[in-house]
Amino acid sequence: MAKVYFVREEISIEVPVGISVLEAEIRAGLAPDAPCGGQGTCGKCLVKVDGKPVLACQTKVEKDCRVEIPGKKKRGKILGEGFSRKVNFQPELQVKTVRLEKPETGEKRSEWERLLEAVYENPETEKASHTIQRNIKTDTEIAGSLYKKRISEAEWDVIYIDDEILDLQPCFASQDASKERQEDNYKGVHPLLFTAAIDLGTTTIVGYLLDGRTGETLAVESRMNPQMQYGGDVIQRANYALEHGEDVLSACVRKVINEILESLSVKARKAIPIDIENRKNEVTNEKKEANEQAVNGKLESAEWMPGVEDIYQVSLVGNTCMHHLFLGISPASLVHAPYTPAISKPLTLHAADYGIRIHPKGQLLLLPNIAGYIGADTSGCLLALRQDLKEEVTLMLDIGTNTEMILGNKYGLAACSAASGPAFEGAKIQCGMRGLPGAIDHVKYENGKWQYTTIGGEKPVGLCGSGLIDLVAELLRTGLIDENGILHSGQERSDTFMLVPPQETGFAQCGQNMSEDEQSEKMECPQRNEKNESGQLRVENDCGVYLTQKDIGEVQLAKAAIAAGIRLLLKKRNIEESQIQTVYLAGGFGNYMNAENAARIGLIPESFVKKVQCVGNIAGEGAKIALLNKNERHEIERAVQSIEFLELAACPEFQDCFVDELGFER
């Protein structure tokens, strides 16, 4: 093992000798920018290891070392919250207090049958016990424990769903406490009951912990997706999986999800009102002696405090590739024509079978994939927005490497996925990067000066998607880019526009937190457009933050794919632009994008600008609703089956439409 110390972040971790510095960054919870998937071709993972500038993906950790990353405390700009709507609380997960009565002599019914009657039978309908039992899964472990439970305690809290009993926990609240139970769901009452929603994004993973009794969101936690080291976008990761197998990609993302769930359960200890004395009385003296830790009147790690075992359901959404890789399914069918998912249907699985550490009998719920790359995350967006119930016509856009869109209303929906490429996520752009500290996120030319802002207020180190759109739009507005996308910068090189000179970037500041000897060494950065014979970038002097003619071409390709997709989707539903009343921009990128500038470069029609509503992490909201209301979840599972799917690659009009959208209108 070797110790790696990240200077600016003040983080020290131990890692196995031989792993890359890039992987060490991910293990430290940082957010390395490596859109080439560790091939050494993009040069965006530059760091300084023991004073020497290197590419993190091409450098192995051989001994204890110090690593400095350009910019300060490089953690991603993660959007955890977004649009929300009020939802009737009708969860599938239920808890019911039952009395386990001693059977009378000659009783024919088994312990299990009597439990089912107590839990599922509705006195108002007088449903027969044999009708109930027919659809309920028999749990031999629980059935075998009922006799001991009955003779030890009379009342038990049964945790169950529609067709399965998950657990029995002692009920410590007296009959006199029933009113108190209603007023305070946790005061002296066992069991704790949680659910969790996971938005498995290509770049980030966001988790939400929900109160199983009220539906309240108790905690939010996020991590960078560790699969980034294998590729910056889903296509690269799918290709990696085809070459090396899915196991590595599945294992690393499951590990991070478990870390998120553990962190959420720790946060829950501060989020729920627990009566310490009553909670103490719920355990035996042996448990008290072994587990009680009182700090300032609070129990920090006793067994009766919230833990991952108190999570009974996890809902997970992600695009089709993320969905498949999480489940350990080969993405082969996604990367070969006609680009179909291996599985589309909604899934209810045992979490333990997929390495997710919650309650041993806890469930894993996955919303359906729709078609192609339009995955469960888009189903989550639909569940949150309920476009399928609206009278008005709406359009939802989730812009990324593949831009998913859904158009329509309650009379019909159509969906497509435009292969917009990774330009807006930082890949294929010379100075492009994701939304990390130091990324230029907004640009404006005003009063004869170029002005910009950066994420976190840091020194600039690159352009993220929103900043890229702003810069191209402003260059177009000022006449430095013509209708064909040709750059006339008026600078030393007419095909390159320098926004930030080298001496003003975050790279120039790198080293100021190091010792005097280390500060005497100038931090060198890669000449972003110079490569060695093997195609990897050479580590030379930095060139500032700039835009090239090739970058503009990448923006044109991306915006043309999205614009063509919108046009053809409108035609598919026989809808005019003017009929659309709301345009939802989903995801972190859409949340920060300037709609006017997006229209100026032709990414969206001009008529959409005043109709745009940024809804943030809407897929995560949908994952929560799947837990909050079982009826809405089932409605969406049915609704996606009737969505018309437009495969742009097979559309004969796409190429002409795409070419029409390549230029810029002035």
pLDDT digits (tens, 9 = 90+) for 103-149: 887 778 888 988 998 888 765 544 544 555 557 888 999 999 998 88
Residues 445 and 500 in one domain: yes
pLDDT in tens, 363-394: 999 999 999 999 999 999 999 999 999 999 99
Whether residue 171 is found in the same domain as residue 201: no
Is 26 within 8 Å of 71 (Cβ atoms)? no
Residue with more model confidence, 534 or 49? 49
Average confidence (pLDDT) over 492-520 = 66
φ/ψ of residue 339, rounded to 5: 60, 55
List the end-to-end C-alpha distance of the chain, in Å, as a whole number: 59
Contact between 663 and 563 (Cβ < 8 Å) = no
- What's the structural domain count of the chain? 4
pLDDT given at position 286 = 35
Q: What is the mean pLDDT of residues 71-95?
A: 73
For 24-66, write each residue's pLDDT tens digit. 988 887 767 777 777 787 777 888 999 898 999 999 999 999 9
Q: Are residues 279 and 348 in the same domain?
A: yes
**Strands of 236-275, DSSP E:** none
User: Do 238 and 295 sit in the same domain of this protein?
Assistant: yes
C-alpha distances in angstroms, 250 versus 320, 375, 378, 556, 638? 14, 17, 21, 34, 28
Q: What is the pLDDT of residues 219-269, one digit of tens each?
A: 999 988 888 888 878 888 999 999 999 999 999 999 999 999 999 999 887
Question: One-letter amino acid identity for 590?
Answer: G
**Domain containing 237 — which CATH number?**
3.30.420.480
Which SS3 state, helix, strand or coil, does residue 387 take? helix
For residue 423, being part of any structural domain is answered with no
- The answer to whether residues 433 and 322 belong to one domain is no
649 within domain boundaries: no
What pLDDT was estimated at residue 82? 62
388-413: per-residue pLDDT in tens? 999 999 999 998 888 999 999 999 99
> Predicted confidence band at 180 (pLDDT cuts at 50, 70, 90)?
very low
89 found inside a domain: no
pLDDT at 172 over 80: no
Please check whether residues 176 and 274 belong to one and the same domain.
no
Give the per-residue pLDDT at 573: 96
Task: Please provide the average confidence, as pLDDT, over all residues in the chain.
Answer: 84
263 and 353 in one domain? yes
- Residue 514's domain comprises 429-553
Q: Which two tokens stand for residue 653?
A: 């009009």
User: Does 598 fall in a domain?
Assistant: no
Q: Is the pLDDT of residue 288 over 60?
A: no
Residue 533 pLDDT > 50: no
Out of 183, 204, 230, pick the residue that ends a domain. 183
**pLDDT at position 132, please?**
54
> Are 225 and 125 found together in one domain?
no
Please state which of the ranges 183-192, 266-275, 487-496, 544-553 shows the lowest mean pLDDT.
Answer: 183-192
User: Does some domain include residue 372?
Assistant: no
Same domain, 497 and 527: yes
Note the pLDDT tens digit of each residue in 546-590. 999 999 999 999 999 999 999 999 999 999 999 999 999 998 777
Domain boundary among 536, 553, 570: 553
- End-of-domain residue from the set 501, 530, 553: 553
For residue 291, is it within any domain? yes
CB atoms inside a 10 Å sphere around CB 407:
27
Question: What was the pLDDT predicted at 296?
Answer: 35
Indicate whether 251 belongs to any domain: yes
Provide the whole-model pTM.
0.83
Q: pLDDT at position 662, please? A: 96
